[in-house]
Structure 1
Amino acid sequence: MIVYVDIEHDRVKEMGDKWDVHLQRVLNVKYRLEEISGDHCLVMRYQRVNPEVLRELKVRAVLVSGNMTEFQHYDEANLAGLRAMFREGAQPTLGFCGGCQMMAQTFGVNVGAIIPAEAGDMDDESWRNRTHEWGFTPVQQLRPHPLFAGLAPQMNLFEAHYWEVKQLPKGFENLAATDITALQLLAHQSLPLFGTQFHPEAYDEKNLDGRRFLQNFFALVAEREG
């Protein structure tokens, strides 16, 4: 079994159809992960995740979603189990966008707007006035890694963010960059932890690099299992 952790905040439930759109995205990602991994995928809300539960479920790998809610809205107590999971690093883990940012924050670095002085947020779509990355975007590999197997040095991957990781966490290396955000793919040097600022799960029929990236991640999971 694999687990897909949904880290979107409950406040989105009060934002009209945004919650329904979010749930549809979660379901689509679940189906994609099952197809690519060949395994069952359990969707879990972030408040319910902790290392003990993952061990009881015998989870092979964890993938962590993105989110539209800025981190100051989260109750830190509700993130304790997820942060413990990141720190323990028992299962191969891949965080997408906000999931990557939350992992980096757990390891002690700052996360914030690409240009902090700019105004705008997700609540009223004013984030579009900020410096951001949106849509399929060239992402440059910085060094070889098994996650890049079969991919060109310049990949085409979906971006959707105006926040970014501001410093490289201790114990991690950065494997990819774009013109706007330098830290695009974090990889821990001793634990099976990875985080992407891009969204590999958001590929389409004309842009399949994200799918290949996920295939490579699950190949690493299988290799780790022996």
Structure 2
Amino acid sequence: MIAYIDIEHISLSRDNERWQARLGRVLKVKYRLEAISGLPCLIMRYEQVSPARLDELGIRAVLISGSATELPHYGPDELAGMTAMFHQVSRPTFGFCGGQQMMAHLLGARVAPINETESGTMATGGWQERTHELGFTAVKATGPHHLLSDLSPDLQMFEAHYWELKEIPAGFHNYASSAVSPIQFIAHETLPLFGTQFHPEAFDEAHPDGQKMLANFFQLL
């Protein structure tokens, strides 16, 4: 079994329309991950995660969602389990967009808006008036990596963000960049720990690169 960790902050549930839309997207990703991996996928809330719980459930790989809530809204207590998971890696782990940002943040790297002088948030919708990436976007592979096997160096990946990694966490390398955000795909030197600024899970028939990348990830199992 694999786990898909939903890191959306519970405060979003106060907006019922956005919350219901979120739940639908999470379920869609669950089915996609099951189809690609050939394994059942358990949806978990980030507050429920701990290394011991993942071991107890027999989780073979962890995938981490994006989020429509900025990192400063999360407190250290509610992220204690996620912090422990990232510091005690024992299975392939892959964070998408906000999942990568949370991973990098909890491992000590700086994460912030692309343009820190602009205003607007996810909650207000004003983030799209800031410097951002949205939609299928050209991403350039900058080096070989197993997760990029059989893919062109000129990738098309779905993006939806206005925050980004400002530095690469210690022990990681970056393997892809875009015109807006240079840190697009990080992988640890020795641990099966990966993150993308883009959303590989948001592929479609015309843009299958994300699906191929996920298939390469599941080959690690």
Aligned twin of 1:4: 4
* TM-score of the aligned structures, taking structure 1 as reference length: 0.97
Aligned twin of 1:147: 147
1:65-214 aligned within 5 A: 65-214=65-214
- Report the CA distance between 1:73 and its aligned residue: 1.1
Q: Deviations over 1:8-49 (max 9, x none)?
A: 001100123000000000000000000000000000000000
Aligned twin of 2:218: 218
Q: Secondary structure at the match of 1:18?
A: helix
- Report the CA distance between 1:183 and its aligned residue: 0.5
Rounded Cα–Cα distance in structure 1 between residues aligned with 2:102 and 2:126? 23
Between Structure 1 and Structure 2, how many residues are aligned? 221
Q: Which residue type is aligned with residue 104 of structure 2?
A: A
Q: Deviations over 1:57-77 (max 9, x none)?
A: 111100000001011111210
Q: Tell me the C-alpha RMSD between the 2 structures.
A: 0.7
Aligned twin of 1:224: none
Superposed structure 1 runs of 4+ greater than 4 Å apart: none
Aligned twin of 1:46: 46
Q: Secondary structure at the match of 2:69?
A: coil
Q: Secondary structure at the match of 1:76?
A: coil
Rounded Cα–Cα distance in structure 2 between residues aligned with 1:80 and 1:2? 21
Rounded Cα–Cα distance in structure 2 between residues aligned with 1:75 and 1:187? 26
Q: Secondary structure at the match of 1:8?
A: coil
Rounded Cα–Cα distance in structure 2 between residues aligned with 1:15 and 1:112? 25
* 5+ long unaligned stretches in structure 1: 222-226
Q: Which residue type is aligned with residue 211 of structure 2?
A: R
Rounded Cα–Cα distance in structure 1 between residues aligned with 2:190 and 2:219? 18
Q: Secondary structure at the match of 2:16?
A: coil
Q: Deviations over 1:120-149 (max 9, x none)?
A: 001121111100000000110011111111
Aligned twin of 2:30: 30
Rounded Cα–Cα distance in structure 2 between residues aligned with 1:75 and 1:65? 18
Q: Which residue type is aligned with residue 51 of structure 2?
A: P
Aligned twin of 2:14: 14
Q: Secondary structure at the match of 1:77?
A: coil
Q: Secondary structure at the match of 2:220?
A: helix
